[in-house]
Amino acid sequence: MTAQPLLNVAATHVGTRALGPGIRSVVWVQGCPFHCAGCVSPEWIPDRPARQAAPGELAAELLADPRVTGLTLSGGEPMQQAAGLAALVRRARETRDVSVVCFTGHRLERLLARPPSAGVPDLLAVVDVLIDGVYVAALNDGRGLRGSTNQRVHHLTRRLADSGYDFAHRARDAEIVVNGPETLLVGVAPRGFPAVFDTAVDTVRARMRGADANNPSPGQEGWS
């Protein structure tokens, strides 16, 4: 059996409604060649080692919540790790018939004519919705799963085409996940993101402090 490539993973999140229809799990890969001005995840741009995960291991993690009906692939740039992500989707679909949404800075035409990595055709073959194009901060209209209006939504299969989910114009959802000193935005960044994000994180941390104060651990005082 041919060994499957390890994925270089920046982050994952299991169970969200903010990045596509239904309840989805998300994997963000490390490394991106585009360096878009205003990128919401600049720490995921450098092509450096992060978490190394096998496709089967990652598939099990992302499907741990039985309510999950889809996967969303983002980054970083998924097409840099297309072979590994294609293997991830195939392993996930051995367990559950999940839909797949994938973001990329490459135009679909480029991916078809001059794939930037050997696994691109395999990944495109298992993606249901591709959102393509680099992020342009000045074109962020605050709507849909597109980060900016130059980006396009391609239904590569009919799986989600008749779902009623408006990928281009719906009101955006976003979730802030706080884990100690680390924070994670799950969703597409709104306009004025830095100020909005800082305010949202402060709000979440305040709620967490309040919850801990009202429910201190045994032998531990609440804190504020």
Q: Can you tell me the mean pLDDT for 192-218? A: 62
Selected residue with higher pLDDT from 189 and 34: 34
According to the model, what pLDDT value does residue 146 have?
Answer: 92
**Whether residue 78 has pLDDT greater than 80:** yes
**Whether residue 216 has pLDDT greater than 60:** no
Amino acid in the structure at residue 63: L
Q: Domain 7-174, what architecture?
A: Alpha-Beta Barrel (3.20)
According to the model, what pLDDT value does residue 196 have?
Answer: 59
Q: Can you tell me the mean pLDDT for 109-116? A: 97
Least confidently predicted of 150-154, 181-185, 186-190 = 181-185
- How far, CA to CA in Å, does 168 sit from each of 23, 109, 127, 137, 148? 18, 20, 18, 16, 10
Q: Can you tell me the mean pLDDT for 166-189? A: 81
According to the model, what pLDDT value does residue 176 have?
Answer: 74
Q: Find which of 11-15, 173-177, 204-208 is predicted with most confidence, using mean pLDDT.
A: 11-15
d(CA 94, CA 186): 26
Q: Write down the domain spans for the chain.
A: 7-174
d(CA 58, CA 30): 15
- How far, CA to CA in Å, does 196 sit from each of 40, 185, 192? 12, 11, 6
What's the residue count for the chain? Answer: 224
DSSP 159: T
Q: 174 falls in which pLDDT band (50, 70, 90)? A: confident
Whole-structure pTM value? 0.84
* 207: β partners: none
Q: How many helices (H) and strands (E) does the chain have?
A: 5, 9
Q: Can you tell me the mean pLDDT for 30-57? A: 95
DSSP 171: B
Q: Which residues contact 211 (CB under 8 A, 6 or more apart)?
A: none
**Residues 27, 9 contacting (CB under 8 angstroms):** yes
DSSP 23: S
